[in-house]
């Protein structure tokens, strides 16, 4: 049986970054840039005032109380018509272009409007005005042609303002992976139904779709498929139109576990079946070619916690890689056990747990009571998984263990 690490590297070897597409800015959020973004303008596009006040020549301000002739008024939308000469000022609003000749702005609060020889004038109650005071030079923030975003970084909501300023309404990003989700099992009914005798609710489809979306993929719910070969063939063939097909159930050793056989009949080549892992041992992984592209197929365990752990360890990294992100492997964090824990198991185990930051700033973690791979209750109380190596062993309070966060938006 494969180790977790070997299974991860086999899978990632088959995953290739998706091709780049153009998306509107709104739809590109969360996707990874496939191009450098350069500004087509200087920012600001012209030297501008940062306050409401008077544009002046700083050399005129040798003493406080100087009176200057006001030659015009410019607001944020009009352009100054007159060049400033010594002894003159232009009334200017925040964001308005600086008139030629001016090299500083005095805030309106430091001025008094006066009349001199019947002309509009202003008294400036300030001295020692520095060149450039309350102004922003053309191109001070960004120069035309300058790269403001480099390729291979995700587009965040907080980047949208700058992208709009540099004129980008469409961006070249790696295409969001399309992930088909197919639940298999004669016993499954939709979550909105009351299960009859021998039936259980299909919780995996909705759970996997939610996980796919948090990882940046597009989830396509392919519904529930019965445990018969003809239905499975049809549903799988449809699912193979997507970049990744996630099946759940039907991959263990039971008589109705038809998934591996059916996949292989359809030309999906098995890369491995079963991983030394608890929960998640029955995991099946294979690949095939459809429409000239590689499709990645996961047969996830039917038991919900097994499905979820396999998603975190094996599927999330694939979604990241297809999306063009460069953090494909889940990275563990070290934490101190808060209480003694006795671990028994023949396989490496990911155990639902609750972690928090202790008073000394270090992370402390407690293993939750958990009844195994069908027990989703423990997962809902958990915020991480503790990794325990195989074998029977007491992990004393205070010992250091590795944890995998479950609810960090960007691992
Ligand atoms: P299987 O691998 O198909 O034998 O399924 C293993 C266990 O997981 C069985 O108890 C199933 O009833 C359960 N199971 C399978 N599929 C789902 C699903 N979509 N949602 C919840 N439980 C499931
Ligand atoms: Mg089944």
Report which ligand 1 atom has the smallest distance to the Cα of 282: 2
Position 76 scores a pLDDT of 80
Q: Which two tokens stand for residue 258?
A: 């038809």
Pocket of ligand 1 (CB under 6 A): 183, 185, 187-188, 200, 202-204, 248-252, 254, 301-304
Report which ligand 1 atom has the smallest distance to the Cα of 187: 12
Average pLDDT, the chain: 96
Closest residue by Cα to atom 6, ligand 1, is 302
Report which ligand 1 atom has the smallest distance to the Cα of 200: 12
Q: Identify which ligand lies nearest to the alpha carbon of 188.
A: 1
Cα of 323 from ligand 2 centre, angstroms? 31
Contact (Cβ atoms closer than 8 angstroms) between residue 37 and residue 174: no
Confidence bin at 411 (pLDDT 50/70/90): very low
What residue has token string 């202003």? 122
Q: Identify which ligand lies nearest to the alpha carbon of 246.
A: 1
- Structural domains in the chain? 4-19+176-322 (3.40.980.10), 20-43+140-174 (3.90.105.10), 48-136 (2.170.190.11), 333-405 (2.40.340.10)
How far apart, in whole angstroms, are the C-alpha atoms of residue 25 and residue 407?
27
How far apart, in whole angstroms, are the C-alpha atoms of residue 310 and residue 302?
11
Q: Which two tokens stand for residue 368?
A: 């939750």
Quick: pLDDT tens for 138-184.
999 999 999 999 999 999 999 999 999 999 999 999 999 999 999 99
What residue has token string 């509009």? 120
Closest residue by Cα to atom 23, ligand 1, is 302
Cα of 218 from ligand 2 centre, angstroms? 25
Of 351, 392, 350, 389, the residue nearest 368 (C-alpha): 351
Quick: pLDDT tens for 299-347.
999 999 999 999 999 999 999 999 999 876 678 899 999 999 999 999 9
Contact (Cβ atoms closer than 8 angstroms) between residue 42 and residue 48: no
Confidence bin at 407 (pLDDT 50/70/90): confident
Q: Identify which ligand lies nearest to the alpha carbon of 186.
A: 2
What residue has token string 């153009």? 22
Of 298, 202, 292, 300, the residue nearest 245 (C-alpha): 298
pTM greater than 0.85 (yes/no)? yes
- What residues pair up with 219 in beta bridges, in sequence order? 179
Give the range among 12-26, 69-83, 397-411 with minimum mean pLDDT: 397-411
Report which ligand 1 atom has the smallest distance to the Cα of 227: 3
């Amino acid at each position: 049986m494969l180790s977790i690490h070997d299974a991860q590297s086999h899978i990632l070897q088959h995953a290739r970054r998706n091709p780049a597409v153009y998306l509107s800015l709104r739809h590109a959020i969360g996707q990874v840039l496939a191009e450098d973004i350069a500004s087509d303008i200087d920012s600001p596009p012209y030297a501008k005032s940062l306050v409401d006040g008077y544009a002046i020549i700083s050399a005129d301000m040798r003493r406080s109380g100087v009176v200057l002739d006001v030659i015009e008024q410019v607001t944020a939308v009009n352009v100054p018509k007159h060049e400033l000469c010594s002894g003159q000022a232009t009334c200017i609003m925040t964001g308005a272009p600086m008139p030629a000749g001016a090299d500083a702005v005095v805030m309106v609060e430091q001025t008094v409007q006066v009349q001199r020889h019947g002309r509009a004038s202003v008294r400036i109650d300030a001295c020692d005005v520095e060149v450039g005071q309350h102004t922003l030079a053309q191109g001070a923030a960004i120069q035309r042609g300058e790269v403001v975003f480099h390729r291979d970084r995700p587009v965040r909501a907080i980047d949208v303002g700058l992208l709009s300023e540099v004129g980008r309404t469409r961006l070249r990003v790696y295409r969001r992976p399309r992930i088909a989700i197919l639940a298999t099992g004669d016993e499954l009914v939709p979550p909105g139904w009351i299960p009859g005798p021998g039936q259980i609710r299909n919780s995996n489809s909705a759970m996997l779709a939610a996980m796919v979306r948090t990882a940046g993929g597009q989830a396509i719910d392919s519904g529930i498929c019965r445990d018969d070969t003809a239905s499975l063939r049809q549903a799988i063939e449809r699912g193979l139109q997507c970049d990744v097909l996630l099946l759940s159930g039907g991959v263990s050793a039971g008589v109705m576990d038809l998934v591996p056989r059916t996949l292989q009949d359809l030309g999906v080549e098995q890369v491995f079946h079963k991983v030394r892992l608890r929960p998640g041992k029955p995991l099946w992984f294979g690949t095939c070619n459809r429409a000239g592209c590689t499709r990645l197929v996961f047969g996830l365990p039917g038991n919900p916690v097994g499905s979820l752990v396999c998603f975190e360890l094996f599927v999330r990294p694939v979604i990241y890689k297809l999306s063009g992100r460069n953090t494909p492997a889940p990275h563990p964090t070290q934490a101190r056990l808060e209480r003694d824990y006795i671990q028994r198991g023949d396989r490496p185990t990911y155990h639902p747990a609750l972690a928090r930051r202790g008073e000394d700033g270090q992370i402390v973690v407690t293993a939750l009571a958990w009844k195994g791979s069908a027990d989703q209750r423990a997962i809902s109380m958990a915020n991480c998984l503790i990794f325990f190596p195989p074998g029977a062993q007491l992990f004393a309070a205070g010992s250091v263990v590795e944890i995998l966060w479950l609810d960090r938006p960007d691992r």
